[in-house]
Amino acid sequence: APIAACLALAVAITIPFLNDSSGDFDLPLSDKGIKVSYVNKVPNINTSNSLVYLTEDELLAGVYEGYSVSIFSGTVIEVKNICLDFGDGSDNYRAVAKIEVGDVLRGDMEAGDTVSVLLPAPVGVEGVQTSDTGISSQMAVGVTGIFTPMKYDETSVMEQSGKEIHLLDLAGYGLPDGERWAFLETADGLQYDHEAYTSLIGAENLDDVREFILSKIK
């Protein structure tokens, strides 16, 4: 499925009644019987996945698996963990970040817009250890970065137990994985996947990242 890579890190675990909610998201495009809620409690999770190798040019291409890829700088203004309940006793935990857009390098948003981005795993909680989320797990309010998410459309769906949820019901954009699609400026300095972007070795800040990206896409 074209959206498979984006969903490779989806985390499912059976813990009934941990988060009892009527649901916080309207899901007009999705099948009935699915509930999505904001959560404060997330169970201990430990998963391991292997990413398909992509070159720098492939990572910064305008299209990934049939979906357009935007590139913009911005500041995280909100990030919340969510639970996807398909009614089968197995909960799927992710997070949604809201990012105020700064400089647009590629995409149809404008500076000052706020975009929502679906993250592949919950953030900011102890006991969650999921591979390939080392960068996305550092997203927090106030963190600035350059983000390269895929843009969802009507074909962006996730299926579980015979039910489909349209990802547009959750966010306008999503990270295919939690390592290679964001560059963050944190209290610990510039954070990015050094193995995926070997040309950036020695980069000190987001200005260096921006110049590198521009050299690849223009």
Question: For residue range 53-91, what is the model confidence (pLDDT) as tens digits?
Answer: 999 999 999 999 999 999 999 999 999 999 999 998 888
Alpha carbon distance 76, 101 (integer Å): 9
**What length is written for the chain?**
218
What confidence score (pLDDT) does residue 18 get?
Answer: 41
Residue-wise over 49-81: b if at least 16 C-beta within 10 A, else e?
eebeebebeebbeeebeebbbbbbbbebeebbb
Looking at the DSSP bridge assignments, the partners of residue 119 are 95
Residue-level pLDDT, tens digit, the chain, 218 residues: 544 444 444 444 333 334 344 589 999 999 999 999 999 888 766 555 678 999 999 999 999 999 999 999 999 999 999 999 999 888 889 999 999 999 999 999 999 999 999 999 889 876 555 556 889 999 999 999 999 999 999 999 999 999 999 999 999 999 999 999 999 999 999 999 999 999 999 999 999 999 999 999 98
Alpha carbon distance 133, 182 (integer Å): 11
Query: What percent of the chain is predicted at pLDDT more than 90?
Result: 74
Alpha carbon distance 140, 75 (integer Å): 9
CA 12 → CA 45, 157, 171, distances in Å?
A: 9, 16, 19
Which residues have C-beta within 8 Å of that of residue 127, sequence separation ≥ 6?
42, 43, 44, 45
Contact indicator for 37, 84 with CB cutoff of 8 Å: no
Looking at the DSSP bridge assignments, the partners of residue 94 are 82
